[in-house]
Amino acid sequence: MKVDFVPFSEELAPACRAFNERLRQGGRPPFLLPEIYKPPRAGRGAIQYTHYVGVDELGAVRGGVLLMEQAGWLKGQSISLMNVQSPLSEGIVDRAFSGVGLKLLQFLARRNPYAYAVGMGSEGNPFARLLRGAGWKVARVPFQFAVIKAERFLREIGPLRGGAKGMIARLLASSGLGAMAFAAWRRRRRYAPPPGYSLEEIASWPAEVSSVWNCCRDDFHFALTRDACALEDLHPAWQTRLRRYALRGGDELLGWSAGLMTQMRDSPYFGNLGVATILDALAPPAHLEALLAYTYGALRDLGADVIVANFTHDRWRERLGKLGFFGGPSNYLLAISKPLASALEGGPGGLGRAYVSRADGDGRLNL
């Protein structure tokens, strides 16, 4: 089967609509290809988003993928990095097209050997299995959470809503014992933000955030570049749901963070909780604990019932642990291509020295 992956265009819209309809008829697809062409959103150009569709000899669309291409950092060197999002193949509903997935992998390898994907939900996900079979390294990005309102958490969180666990959780919530237990846990952690800092909510990123990236990058074996230009594309001002914060010591910018506050509605996992997410947070080691503590406080004050985060780097996870965050089961996967995995295998720490967060790729979906 011959399939060429080409950028989505207005001329391909009818074939994409036909592809989507075949997927709908075959079941419940996880997502669909775009059907209306929209010119790329203007930005600083640090990150380029392009939707590619797989077209066969007859002009029919058989698959697609969204590529997010940007500068990255790999063991002290700037590299071209590619994030793979929203992969689709007609093979999920018709085995006659099971080879489209292999064609997609070949296209990705030609496009950029340094590629990664995040999300995917489960290691049993077809795309995660395809990547692992092709030699990609697939690992879970650790999940951490801080309970703010114990009674609501115990009543709403999905894993505690059914069976014997649900009965115990409801008892703990109604009796107040759960709130007492979480309060005791918090007292053992230092929640008070250290003095000498201030956290300011900002509408857009100042140019000086590049200095924070320059101070941090040599500590990372692998990361998406997060200078001022990249942040304007990664966390743009037009995304009004985003909360952007700047940590200052006097007049000096020492760190920054980005978060989301989402009121869930009948979520299978979060029920009707108010869920705040620390999407991204960057500061040198001396100021990281302050940044995370102040960001925690800002998101808590928005009315969050629970605050969640996903970080690969050991230091971020250790600092969140000091703030009272628990570790939980993660459904947020990181897959890295064979050349990228080979480059990372030589040094100590592995993915514990990589900086990947919920902000990478499509990680903020469903939040």
Dist CA 290 CA 313 (whole Å): 17
Confidence tier at 120 by pLDDT (50, 70, 90): confident
Confidence tier at 268 by pLDDT (50, 70, 90): confident
- Considering only residues 357 and 187, tell me which one the structure prediction assigns the higher pLDDT: 357
For tokens 């009965």, what's the residue?
167
For tokens 């079979």, what's the residue?
133
Residue-averaged pLDDT of the chain: 88
pLDDT of residue 124: 78
pLDDT(6) > 90: yes
Contact of 58 with 3, CB cutoff 8 Å: no
For tokens 């900002």, what's the residue?
202
- Considering only residues 227 and 269, tell me which one the structure prediction assigns the higher pLDDT: 227
What is the CATH T-level fold of the domain 143-355, as seen in this structure? Aminopeptidase (3.40.630)
Angle in degrees, CA 15, 19, 23, rounded to 5:
170
Tokens (6 digits) for 110? 């030609």
- Give the number of other Cβ atoms within 10 Å of residue 301's Cβ: 10
pLDDT of residue 215: 96
Could you give the percent of the chain with pLDDT greater than 70?
Answer: 87
In the chain, the amino acid numbered 253 is L
Angle in degrees, CA 154, 158, 164, rounded to 5:
70
pLDDT of residue 336: 95
Give mean pLDDT, residues 59-80. 95
Give mean pLDDT, residues 137-154. 90
Confidence tier at 267 by pLDDT (50, 70, 90): confident
pLDDT of residue 229: 93
Reported as half-sphere exposure (CB side, CA atoms, 13 A), residue 273 has a value of 30
pLDDT of residue 41: 62
Phi, psi (5° rounding) for residue 6?
-130, 155
Angle between helix 285-300 and 314-322 (nearest 10) = 50
The answer to whether the Cα torsion of 249, 255, 261, 267 is positive or negative is negative
What are the residue ranges spanned by the domains of the chain?
3-112, 143-355
pLDDT(350) > 80: no
Q: Which residues pair with 140 in a beta bridge?
A: 333
pLDDT of residue 227: 95
SS (H, E, C) 229-277: HHHHHHCCCCCCCCEEEEEEECCEEEEEEEEEEEECCCECCCECCEEEE
- Radius of gyration for the chain, computed over Cα atoms and rounded to the nearest angstrom: 22
Give mean pLDDT, residues 272-299. 96
In the chain, the amino acid numbered 128 is A
Give mean pLDDT, residues 330-343. 92
Query: What's the CATH number for 3-112?
Result: 3.40.630
DSSP label at residue 325: P
Query: pLDDT for 290-329, tens place per residue?
Result: 999 999 999 999 999 999 999 999 999 999 998 889 998 8
**Which range among 33-37, 281-285, 359-363 has the greatest average pLDDT?**
281-285
DSSP states along 9-45: -GGGHHHHHHHHHHHHHHS--S-----S--PPPP--S
pLDDT of residue 167: 52
Contact of 105 with 310, CB cutoff 8 Å: no
Confidence tier at 42 by pLDDT (50, 70, 90): low
Dist CA 271 CA 288 (whole Å): 31
Query: pLDDT for 179-205, tens place per residue?
Result: 566 666 666 665 677 889 999 999 999
pLDDT(356) > 80: yes
Q: Check if 3-112 and 143-355 are the same fold.
A: yes
Tokens (6 digits) for 155? 């009543």
Nearby residues of 311 by Cβ (< 8 Å), 6 or more positions away: 141, 142, 144, 317, 320, 355, 356, 357
Q: Is 220 helix (H, G, I), strand (E, B) or coil?
A: coil
How far are the Cα atoms of 14, 23, 261 from residue 329, in angstroms, in the given order? Answer: 41, 31, 21
pLDDT of residue 261: 95
